[in-house]
């Protein structure tokens, strides 16, 4: 089992976080899928996938409520719950109410990690100060950001308490490798993790073209794995990256979890990189 070594990524009981989380974007939005989605999350917990990521934005809070139902009866201290605050709620006027509303929907009295969802008009210094106050109140254990590029992270690190940020959640997958040029090295050098959302490129034509790629198919065949499992294994190559794929069924969750057993070789990576090469210059941060 691949575990994250960062000290902030331990549950309240002291257990390390498994380096494959459960994403929940769009979960909870359709009532007909609710039973399957809850079962998917519970199957993930049973498999040891103890990090669950959500946001107040997802389904207008319905994702958080779905998670709250899924984890009811589970030892809270064994889980690592992550949620995100809207940029317009990330200042002193709204962040405390937003956090408490998320906690209520999740049915818990604390978050393990609370993230700024993306950068807005609230100064980073104000958000950092509010996050620190949430920590002091015991409502969150750690805080971080999402969708911030290298220059934003450098600015954040320079404000009071900005260095207490523990992660940047970013879009990262085989066909979107721009962050490898400077953002991932910066995060690693500052002992921060990267959380990779959409690690399977889950939307639109890109997903179809990627899953059908000849090199990816060949690597998957060698490992007796699916293309999706190889995509997850690719994001797991760096030990400070935590991919958070979404699953809406127990079977899909089980398939995702098997990626933790795959060890890609240098030859595999070279083959994957023929059609999806590593960046050689700075590119704009991809955001979905």
Catalytic positions are 58
CB under 8 Å to 124, separation ≥6 — which residues? Answer: 152, 155, 156, 159, 162
Phi and psi of 145, rounded to 5°? -135, 175
| Cα separation, 255 vs 269, whole angstroms | 21
| Cα separation, 33 vs 22, whole angstroms | 17
Question: Where does the chain have alpha helices with state H?
Answer: 34-46, 62-71, 95-106, 124-137, 150-158, 183-189, 204-211, 214-222, 227-235, 250-257, 266-275
CA distances from 164 to 66, 72, 96, 137, 195 (A): 30, 31, 19, 16, 16
Longest dimension (CA), the chain: 54
Residue in the structure block whose two tokens are 């719950």: 81
């Amino acid at each position: 089992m691949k575990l994250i070594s960062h000290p902030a990524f331990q549950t309240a009981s002291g257990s390390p976080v498994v380096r494959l989380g459960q994403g929940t974007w769009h979960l909870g939005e359709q009532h007909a899928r609710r039973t399957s989605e809850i079962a998917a999350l519970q199957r993930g917990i049973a498999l040891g996938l103890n990090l669950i990521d959500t946001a107040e934005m997802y389904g207008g809070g319905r994702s958080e409520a779905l998670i709250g139902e899924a984890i009811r009866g589970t030892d809270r201290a064994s889980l690592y719950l992550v949620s995100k605050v809207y940029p317009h709620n990330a200042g002193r006027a709204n962040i405390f109410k937003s956090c408490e509303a998320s906690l209520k929907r999740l049915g818990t009295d604390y978050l393990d990690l609370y993230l700024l969802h993306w950068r807005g008009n609230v100064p980073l210094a104000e958000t950092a100060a509010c996050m620190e106050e949430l920590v002091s109140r015991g409502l969150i254990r750690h805080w971080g950001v999402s969708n911030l590029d290298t220059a934003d992270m450098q600015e954040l690190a320079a404000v009071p308490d900005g260095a207490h940020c523990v992660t940047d959640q970013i879009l990262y997958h085989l066909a979107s490798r721009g962050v490898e040029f400077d953002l991932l090295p910066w995060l690693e050098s500052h002992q921060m993790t990267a959380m990779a959302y959409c690690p399977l490129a889950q939307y639109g034509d890109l997903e179809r073209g990627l899953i059908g790629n000849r090199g990816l198919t060949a690597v998957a065949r060698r490992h007796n794995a699916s293309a999706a499992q190889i995509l997850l294994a690719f994001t797991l190559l760096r030990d400070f990256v935590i991919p958070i794929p979404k699953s809406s069924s127990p079977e899909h969750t089980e398939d995702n979890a098997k990626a933790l057993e795959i060890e890609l070789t240098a030859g595999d990576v070279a083959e994957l990189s023929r059609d999806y090469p590593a960046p050689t210059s700075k590119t704009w941060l991809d955001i979905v």
